[in-house]
Amino acid sequence: MSSLALLVGIADHGSLSAGARSVGMAQSNATRAIKTLERRLGYELLARSTTGSKLTPEGKLTVVWARDSLQSLNTLWTGAQALAAPEDREFTFAASMTVAEHLAPLWIGKLHEADSHIKTKMRVMNSQEVIAAVQGRDIELGFVETPDIPAALSSRIVWTDDLVLIAPKSHPWAQRSAPVTLSEIASTALVEREAGSGTRAFLDDSIQGARAVPLVEFNSNSAICQAVSAGMGPAILSRMAVESLLRMGNFALVPLQSGNLKRNLHSIWRGTEPAHGPAALLLEICAQARAAI
């Protein structure tokens, strides 16, 4: 990963020496690192000449992939630190699965940039469990996907999300030209999240009627994606949860006649909005991130 960071630094700063300085690496070590990376990848990343080194076309494409990999690693590290932090010394909040996987790591990173003394603990649970934790005063702030927020809790929209229909490539829905209707969704057994999840509650609310018993239930988005990839059946999930696997061609994106289902993700808390402290700062960061879309 340090070699990939170096490669991105070369692209951003225009030369091997400047790229090495940007990642705190001696130029001699940087030269060796790039040569080792080239051997491992099997192609040249830099075109070397007496006037300096420039990225080859293959090198430029590799930089694009490297940026994605480094961002994913940063998201993993930030999220993992929040999960591992001891609760007795931290600002603790809870988040439902989609929020925890795709939004919370970015918010936590911004929170630490704003105040490096804040140590954050994130608890991951489904939306109903988050609501119960806020109501029970176990946590000050929570993030949920369900539209069913108790009237006694305060809330704010922090993100607007698309739910999309995915299916195995061999499924009839992936082969047809006509979009799938909500009535077809209602009568079809899907691969679904467990009862209590925000995704499940939102889909129930959108269809507003009886639905087929789930084909199988999982308590994580990644498990559902794996099941769909394996051919088990169709599912409806957040676009954020399926985007990378769609690019890889693991399954098909199936159009819905009504268009993608849009839902609001909410922060929730008891009483009046926090005026100061980590919870107030995190809410402000969420608002800024949403405004920047």
Mean pLDDT of 91-102: 93
Tell which residue, 159, 182, 160, has the closest CA to residue 254: 182
Mean pLDDT of 149-159: 94
DSSP H or E run through 280: helix 277-291
Give the confidence band of 251 by pLDDT, cuts at 50, 70, 90.
very high
Residue count of the chain: 293
User: What is the tens place of the pLDDT at every residue in 159-209?
Assistant: 999 999 999 999 999 999 999 999 999 999 999 999 999 999 999 999 888
Provide the pLDDT for residue 89.
Answer: 47
Q: What phi and psi values does residue 45 have, to the nearest 5 degrees? A: -100, -30
Choice between 22 and 166, residue whose per-residue pLDDT is larger: 166
In terms of DSSP bridges, do strands 216-218 and 191-193 run parallel, antiparallel, or are they unpaired?
Answer: parallel
- Buried/exposed code over 136-152 (b: 16+ C-beta within 10 A; e: otherwise): eeebbbbbbbbeeeeee
Provide the pLDDT for residue 280.
Answer: 92
Provide the pLDDT for residue 184.
Answer: 96
- Cβ–Cβ < 8 Å for 160, 191: no
Provide the pLDDT for residue 183.
Answer: 94
Strand partners, 142: 94, 268
Choice between 122 and 80, residue whose per-residue pLDDT is larger: 122
Q: Is the pTM of this model over 0.75?
A: no
Tell me if residue 102 falls in helix, strand or coil: helix
User: What is the tens place of the pLDDT at every residue in 42-94?
Assistant: 999 998 877 777 888 898 889 888 888 887 887 787 777 667 755 544 789 99
Provide the pLDDT for residue 88.
Answer: 47
| DSSP annotation string for 121-177 | EEEE--HHHHHHHHHTTS-SEEEE--S---TTEEEEEEEEEEEEEEE-TTSHHHH-S
User: What is the tens place of the pLDDT at every residue in 260-273?
Assistant: 899 999 999 998 88
| Average pLDDT over all residues of the chain | 90
3-state helix, strand, coil in the chain (%, to 5): 50, 20, 30
Provide the pLDDT for residue 247.
Answer: 86
